[in-house]
Amino acid sequence: MNGRYWAANKKTARFLGLLFAAVAICGSASLSYADSVFWSGSISQSPSDASQTAVNNPTLNNIFDFQAFSVTLDFNGSILGPGTYNSLIGATLTFADGSAGAIETGFDTIFLTITANGGFDDFSLLGCLTTGSFGCFGGNQLDANFEIPAAGLNSQSVTATGLDQPHPLDLLEDDGATEVQGTITGYSYTAAAPVPEPSSLGLSLLGALLVVSGRVLVRRSNSRNQ
């Protein structure tokens, strides 16, 4: 009886192992990619330059000229060439000045256009804030305009040149009353590893696995008690 019980358990373990593998494969059939675009520079105009006081985001009041800042755009998908990217799925935009402890993430709409220009790619980004009145229509936004060598589109630590001088980066808050400007000198693109998303078939197989494994365990328990 012990021999038969052991053999049956081996078959059960083999079956469950195969079913687990099937669930894993089907569950990974759908993949998403979370890539990042990063650019950086230094502050050329802070709120203190014009005796401004940031109200909606008081951390901006800690920003001073010549401090380093960065902007990071995270999104599901990939940028492989020039084009208009007005529907960046799951996109988030972050402006940060580490020295000032200032950060702004309240963007709900993001538009990105990359235009081929000879051996360069010209970037134009607009991020609309949820703070203030009427978002971009009320002067609550982040604008960035710069270019990089076309060969560096999907590379890191690329030299960037600011466009739309004298303010390649412009962050407007409080309906345009608070303004932060900056240069843009660096660019990086990071392609993240694919993230598996469970498919409907994978979830169905998982449900079947739970049902079958439950029944098998009940049978084995009954056989053992006889």
Residues 71 and 173 in one domain: yes
The pLDDT score that the predictor gives to residue 22 is 46
20 and 104 assigned to the same domain: no
Domain encompassing residue 218: 2-29+197-225
pLDDT of amino acid 120: 98
Tokens representing 12 are 């059960």
Q: Which phi and psi (to 5°) does residue 141 adopt?
A: -165, 170
Q: Verify that 51 and 104 share a domain, yes or no.
A: yes
Instruction: Judge if 202 and 218 occupy the same domain.
Output: yes
Domain shared by 162 and 219, yes or no? no
- What would the two tokens of residue 22 be? 């099937």
Q: Is 51 in the same domain as 94?
A: yes
- Please report the pLDDT score of residue 192 as a whole number: 78
Question: Is 170 in the same domain as 202?
Answer: no
Tell me the C-alpha distance between 205 and 18, whole Å.
11
Q: Say whether both 52 and 65 belong to one domain.
A: yes
12/38 same-domain check: no
How many domains does the structure of the chain reveal?
Answer: 2
132 and 202 belong to one structural domain = no
Residues 24 and 42 in one domain: no
| In a shared domain, residues 54 and 145 | yes
Helix axes 2-27, 200-225, angle to 10 degrees: 170
Sole residue written with tokens 């365990």 = 217
Separation of alpha carbons 147 and 16, rounded Å: 55
pTM of the full predicted structure?
A: 0.72
For the chain, what is the radius of gyration of the CA atoms? 27
Q: Over its length of 226 residues, how does the chain's per-residue pLDDT go in tens digits?
A: 455 544 445 555 455 554 454 444 444 445 555 899 999 999 999 988 767 899 999 999 999 999 999 999 999 888 999 999 986 777 999 999 999 999 999 998 999 999 999 999 999 999 999 988 888 999 999 999 999 999 999 999 999 999 999 899 999 999 999 999 999 999 999 997 665 555 555 555 555 555 555 555 546 555 555 5
Q: Which two tokens stand for residue 177?
A: 């009353």
